[in-house]
Structure 1
């Protein structure tokens, strides 16, 4: 049927029959096969976190419903930077190519004084890509466009999203979650799900309803700021423009890649937080050489109040906190959105293992175990940057060095490793190579998808047929040995992973779960796979 308004979309989505062919979005046909309204996962909040999680679950065949209280995706450029590790996540989720086409690099910073540029500097450090890290620089894309592309990818996967529906009440027991949705016309509907994910932002109503506390450092030196998306005449698009104000405040105008927009940030110690278009024009005219009339159009405005905090826990029974609902960051360093997307990436594969492959519910406890220390670490980085006056942003913000060496899911079974060796728990590097017939490929192409990968380097005793996993769950790839699947033509796999012979088990989120010596690989990998296939968690060897 044709969906003409939010109310029609709501009715259609909420008559889901429990099969994986749900509502595509608010403009396309929705199923109306039965009244059950049951899902595997209910996600509250269609920001970057909720959309990334919905994409990951959809490709795993997990029945998920994503609900958003607004009647559309959020406007505004907001967080504009995608760090290299997030680009790797987007590569796996199948959205990176579109994001690269829509985005671009950050320009150099231009400092203005008396109506002219007096200095320029490279604010965002640029790093050359390597075979192991093909995405080596932050990518700028307005958040509204980022959301659109994630939404389009969810449509391709027939994922369900329901706009104009606010999750207003819920309860949980050993069988699942029962949630009440309040729709745009004031009516209510009830949805049942095995699990609920709160991706509803820093003011999360679900976190508050759970009674989960949130605490963090006080961010000194920056009160409210004005944020706006504008069309402006009289400025080049080759620089990130900045003017210092007499009160130690500033005006900054960033040309947004892929658009004719600028993102405006205005801050001062005594700033009146008035986000009206006329107030924005007045601020720009007062703080720069531009006139009010050169601010051709004010597209969106907001008052931004920097905060830093983290939830006391990320799981409460069948409910999980993700993204800003779990941690709020200073904008310094562009870490918040990226950390949030990677929350979704960590949680998505674990929900898939429990709901589709028989893994124990205790696997989901490792979401909190793994992500809270990461969030705390990144919170410290962004808070430190906020307190400093440095403008330069380097590789330490790329999130490529984040890993899970201390996770209960991680098993490093080799001994006498060099100090700088790749270890279980680390990010799995990329490496260009060829297939056995000489076709160029790379490890990221092999890893892409919802499966685990067994990477066997050299001659090993690995017997894939003896492992407790279906082919759809684990793919085995031999590099070298008597019957190789991949040829390390230029030695890039060796450079990244070592000489072998070794077997690595790579998680669906691109981290090394197991590193085993070649002569004991089958037994050791089988033990580790039990953690993901229903035999209970296997503690790490330390």
Structure 2
């Protein structure tokens, strides 16, 4: 077999996102997973707006959104049979700078299915029943030993190995990377995908019974519900449909709801752990292999997707000649995000367990639109007076832009594998033309008109908060460099960091 540039271990949302990122850049890779077949459960059923923006870039946002639902209200039932409804995302809708305003309820298997289909369209595939058992690395490559389900073993050589293989990551263990944290044995939950009669599908149903919390969330596009129940200490019964039914009846006080046809069950324990580094030589970790935590807030799957989105373009750039130091910025930028993630999800987790219910806090943090890298080494802020938007921040969207081809959104321009030069005001054309000539298809540019905020480009000018200036937008949609000077040298030097010599 021809040696791939990248060996990806684990084909969940993280590994699939990374594979799509590499495939659309023409980077040879191999994607393996120890499981015999694709995952079939709902598990991470909340897709956050930032992840939907990534899916927009990958070309699958419409499919994922079409399979899910926004603003499903939670119906909380009281002991006397009364209830009240809560929209966890009340008032949060699409804005000019953010086309996805709230969390999308969609089962994880649907997300994975959309990513696999996109990967297939890009010419890639997943090899199931292939497990990583050992690896050795030298200055040039990694030699990975892979065990097949039929008993065969092989050694695969690749320039880099990326472990996207979950909380029990073989890659992490073999790399000798510590997984710091704790397991909260008293905080356990039974989760299952089941059929349910006697309930409408227009609400996420939740009860706070004397024995604990129980809920049934309808899974869009299916006939199933996700069952969730906190387990009391000392209850060591194996997961079963009978156990789900008993907990539901005990805590809801209802006998008219009948559960049936379980397709997936899991006993979850509260693990709160993370690595202290994302890289060991030519080996990288992403997703749950690097951080595990409470599902409160619906952040885990999304953070793994965003890990992969950060790493993919950097691997491709280094393979095409950029300095290897670019790969160190992956851990530099994502390790603080993992630390923040564990803190936030733990706070939401304890809130939910104390209140015997669902953590109701939802804001810019949980939506992950505010995640940025201002303090990373790739954030190059050259303006004496930055506005509210600075280098390292997420690049906002904006509608209402126009050119000879008609009207478009800013995200339409950003979509793809290139770096974008976004200029505001007049006088940038010569500089942009020179940079495009030097970098070719790796760079695109647009000039936002120099009228007032009520001109045709007003949304973009308002979102970026500038009258004049130049932003270099990284391939992953973050502002890399910001300047208001028309000097080519700093911009050229920065583009070499991102793209390598041209």
Give TM-score, length-normalised by structure 2. 0.93
Matches within 5 A, 1:171-320: 171-216=136-181, 219=184, 222-247=186-211, 249-270=212-233, 271-291=235-255, 294-320=258-284
Q: Determine the C-alpha separation between the residues in 2 that align with 1:488 and 1:133.
A: 20
How far 1:244 moved relative to its partner? 2.1
Within the alignment, does 1:434 sit opposite 2:401 as a pair?
yes
Q: Is the 8 A contact 2:293 2:342 kept in 1?
A: yes
2:27 to 50, 62, 85: 62
Q: Determine the C-alpha separation between the residues in 1 that align with 2:349 and 2:401.
A: 45
Q: Paired residue for 1:339?
A: 303
Secondary structure of the residue aligned to 1:409 is coil
Q: Determine the C-alpha separation between the residues in 2 that align with 1:300 and 1:289.
A: 25
Q: Determine the C-alpha separation between the residues in 1 that align with 2:500 and 2:128.
A: 36
Secondary structure of the residue aligned to 1:306 is strand
**C-alpha distance after superposition, 1:330-358 (max 9, x if no partner):** 111111111110000000010111113x1
Q: Paired residue for 1:45?
A: 10
Matches within 5 A, 1:434-513: 434-437=401-404, 439-461=406-428, 462-467=430-435, 469-480=438-449, 489-513=456-480
Q: Which runs of 5 or more structure 1 residues have no equivalent in the other structure?
A: 1-35, 537-542
Q: Determine the C-alpha separation between the residues in 1 that align with 2:438 and 2:293.
A: 39
2:489 to 519, 523, 533: 523
Evaluate the alpha carbon distance shift between residue 463 and residue 519 of structure 1 in structure 2; reply closer, same or farther with a 3 A threshold: closer
Q: Paired residue for 2:378?
A: 409
Secondary structure of the residue aligned to 1:299 is strand
**C-alpha distance after superposition, 1:241-288 (max 9, x if no partner):** 1122323x1111111112111000111323334212332233323333
Query: Which range is displaced more, 166-175 or 106-115?
Result: 106-115
Q: Determine the C-alpha separation between the residues in 2 that align with 1:336 and 1:269.
A: 24
Q: Is the 8 A contact 2:372 2:478 kept in 1?
A: yes
Within the alignment, does 1:374 sit opposite 2:374 as a pair?
no
Secondary structure of the residue aligned to 1:134 is coil
Q: Paired residue for 2:316?
A: 352
Q: Determine the C-alpha separation between the residues in 1 that align with 2:410 and 2:399.
A: 7
1:154 to 105, 119, 137: 119
Q: Determine the C-alpha separation between the residues in 1 that align with 2:194 and 2:49.
A: 27
Secondary structure of the residue aligned to 1:388 is helix
1:384 to 347, 351, 371: 347
Q: Is the 8 A contact 2:184 2:269 kept in 1?
A: no
Q: Paired residue for 1:4?
A: none
**C-alpha distance after superposition, 1:435-462 (max 9, x if no partner):** 3226110110000001000011112345
Alignment RMSD (CA, Å): 2.1
Secondary structure of the residue aligned to 1:251 is strand
Q: Give the length in aligned residue pairs.
A: 491
Evaluate the alpha carbon distance shift between residue 120 and residue 515 of structure 1 in structure 2; reply closer, same or farther with a 3 A threshold: same
Q: Determine the C-alpha separation between the residues in 1 that align with 2:265 and 2:80.
A: 25
Q: Determine the C-alpha separation between the residues in 2 that align with 1:463 and 1:160.
A: 42
Q: Determine the C-alpha separation between the residues in 1 that align with 2:377 and 2:4.
A: 29
Q: Which runs of 5 or more structure 2 residues have no equivalent in the other structure?
A: none
Q: Determine the C-alpha separation between the residues in 2 that align with 1:387 and 1:219.
A: 11
Within the alignment, does 1:129 sit opposite 2:98 as a pair?
no
How far 1:126 moved relative to its partner? 4.2
Q: Determine the C-alpha separation between the residues in 1 that align with 2:36 and 2:442.
A: 37
Query: Which range is displaced more, 57-66 or 222-231?
Result: 222-231
Q: Determine the C-alpha separation between the residues in 1 that align with 2:253 and 2:221.
A: 25
2:368 to 374, 399, 402: 399
How far 1:292 moved relative to its partner? 8.6
Q: Is the 8 A contact 1:308 1:328 kept in 2?
A: yes
Within the alignment, does 1:364 sit opposite 2:327 as a pair?
yes
Q: Determine the C-alpha separation between the residues in 2 that align with 1:388 and 1:205.
A: 32
How far 1:152 moved relative to its partner? 0.6
Q: Determine the C-alpha separation between the residues in 1 that align with 2:372 and 2:174.
A: 31
**C-alpha distance after superposition, 1:452-498 (max 9, x if no partner):** 0001111234523543853221112222269xxxx961511110113
